[in-house]
Amino acid sequence: MSHTPRVVIVIVSWNALPLLKSCLPSVMATDYPDFEVVLADNASTDGSAAWVRQRFPRVHVVTHAENWAFARGNNEAVRDARVQALQADYYVFLNNDVEVPSDWLRPLVARMESEPDLVAVQPKLLRHDDRGAFEYAGAAGGFMDALGYPFTRGRVLFTMERDEGQYDDARHAFWATGAALMIRRQAWDVSGGFDEEFVMHMEEIDLCWRLQHRRSHADLHVGSEPAARTWRVGVEPGSRVFHIGGASLPQGSPDKTFLNFRNNLLMLYKNLPPGRFGPGPFYRILVLRTPLDMLAAGRAALGGRWQEALAIPRAYWAAHRLKSRYSAARPAAGSAAPLPWRGTLAWHYILRGRRTFTRLEQARPLEVR
């Protein structure tokens, strides 16, 4: 490529000095000719910002006034005048608990440069402590079932696969993981960034879904011509990164459960169109999935995890109170907004025992290609 695109890597962190010491050196050793690193420090009190300034003077440290978590922490970092002055072609939003090999960035840039309608892409996400296994947060690209439950190539509900090359095709996905998300700067600007109401969890799925709503893209120039096709999201298996996971909220945390369920419901409401006559797809989905979610709450209660169990009905109530904020921004009534997979995990995974992405796709092909 004659022009080397500039990549700005944004890392949000809060009181995570050990993680920064473990992972940031690998980011700084990236083999790519034009990249900048921004640390968005969420008012840490453990000396993180000072350590980064002393150890890596070329890192742009943006200190926030308080802990704005993932969504606002990233948004505010990008809005910062110093970051805007870097004039990125691409942003990469990278978790502070991700270690990267030196060659991770080039395949992502090459993929984006080769596909003008691709606006976001992720690498293959593998476990930090077992580098032959996919990692929960994104694996090899994300999808959703007909009830809005996310799953990935490499992780379906409770089943984690080993990486044996079965997902090494560079294909499109429905969403890309926020643990390592590359996005075109123009697409980021048009999208408005992450939904700050989400705080953390599901915000990257919501962002990818909103990007794919767009059908006419005269406002996005990716070279000399504007992109004219539907914006797409992809996964580039030529790039691999290693995710520790659970650094912000561990699995089983009531707060994590609350945010996952609440944000999933809000995401469905804001991205699915209202019905032209009668209830739209959101309410039809809600009728089917409410019993399933309450079963999940009951399962947690039977296991003695009462706070986790109560987090699910709390999430429903919180989503109900917040959804009116999104009414004006929903897609037009009756417009097509298909979910990428018309099957349900409840049927195929739980009842039919199809525990891998490959078996799910064989049973019912996906609509994202």
310 shares a domain with 268: yes
Taking the CA of residue 320 as centre, how many other CA atoms within 13 Å lie in the half-sphere pointing to its CB? Answer: 9
Residue 287 lies in a domain: yes
β pairing state of 232-243 and 172-173: antiparallel
DSSP per-residue letters across 279-337: --HHHHHHHHHHHHHHHHHHHHHHTT-HHHHHHHHHHHHHHHHHGGGGGGGSPPTT---
294 shares a domain with 237: no
Per-residue pLDDT reduced to its tens digit, 228-261 = 568 999 999 999 999 998 766 667 789 999 999 9
Q: What is the pLDDT of residue 216?
A: 39
32 shares a domain with 163: yes
pLDDT band at 217 (very low <50, low <70, confident <90, very high): very low
Residue 67 lies in a domain: yes
Q: What is the pLDDT of residue 230?
A: 83
Q: What is the pLDDT of residue 332?
A: 83
27 shares a domain with 167: yes
22 shares a domain with 143: yes
Residue where one domain finishes, among candidates 185, 213, 243:
243
Residue 190 lies in a domain: yes
Nearest Cα to 262, choosing from 334, 326, 184? 326
293 shares a domain with 147: no
Q: How far apart are CA 204 and CA 198, in angstroms?
A: 10
Q: What is the pLDDT of residue 338?
A: 64
239 shares a domain with 143: yes
Residue where one domain finishes, among candidates 199, 224, 243:
243
154 backbone φψ class: left, alpha, beta (φ>0; ψ -120 to 50): left
Residue-averaged pLDDT of the chain: 92
Residue 357 lies in a domain: no
Residue where one domain finishes, among candidates 188, 211, 243:
243
Residue 141 lies in a domain: yes
Nearest Cα to 39, choosing from 47, 49, 31, 54? 49
Q: Does residue 222 register a pLDDT over 90?
A: no
31 shares a domain with 167: yes
234 shares a domain with 112: yes
Q: Does residue 84 register a pLDDT over 90?
A: yes
- Average pLDDT, integer, range 32-40: 98
Range of the domain at 238: 7-243
- Average pLDDT, integer, range 92-119: 97
- Average pLDDT, integer, range 106-125: 97
223 shares a domain with 261: no
Residue 348 lies in a domain: no
DSSP per-residue letters across 219-243: T-BSSSSB--S--EEEEEEEEEEEE
Per-residue pLDDT reduced to its tens digit, 43-75 = 999 999 999 999 999 999 999 999 999 999 999
- Average pLDDT, integer, range 147-159: 96
Q: What is the CATH number of the domain that holds 231?
A: 3.90.550.10
Q: Please say whether the beta carbons of 236 and 107 come within 8 A.
A: yes
Residue 137 lies in a domain: yes
pLDDT band at 276 (very low <50, low <70, confident <90, very high): confident
287 shares a domain with 167: no
- Average pLDDT, integer, range 210-220: 64
Q: What is the pLDDT of residue 336?
A: 63
189 shares a domain with 114: yes
Residue 366 lies in a domain: no
Q: Is 241 exposed, middle or buried (0-12, 13-18, 19+ CB in 10 A)?
A: buried
Q: What is the pLDDT of residue 233?
A: 96
Cβ atoms within 10 Å of 322's Cβ, excluding its own = 16
Cα separations in angstroms, 325 against 42, 207, 269, 283, 284: 26, 17, 10, 17, 20
pLDDT band at 270 (very low <50, low <70, confident <90, very high): very high
Q: Please say whether the beta carbons of 32 and 105 come within 8 A.
A: yes
Q: How far apart are CA 177 and CA 94, in angstroms?
A: 10
Q: What is the pLDDT of residue 280?
A: 87
Stronger pLDDT, 221 or 251, i.e. the higher one: 251
Tell me the percentage of the chain whose pLDDT exceeds 90: 84
Q: Please say whether the beta carbons of 100 and 27 come within 8 A.
A: yes
Torsion angle of alpha carbons 306, 311, 317, 322, nearest 10°? 170
Q: Please say whether the beta carbons of 198 and 124 come within 8 A.
A: no
The number of domains in the chain is 2
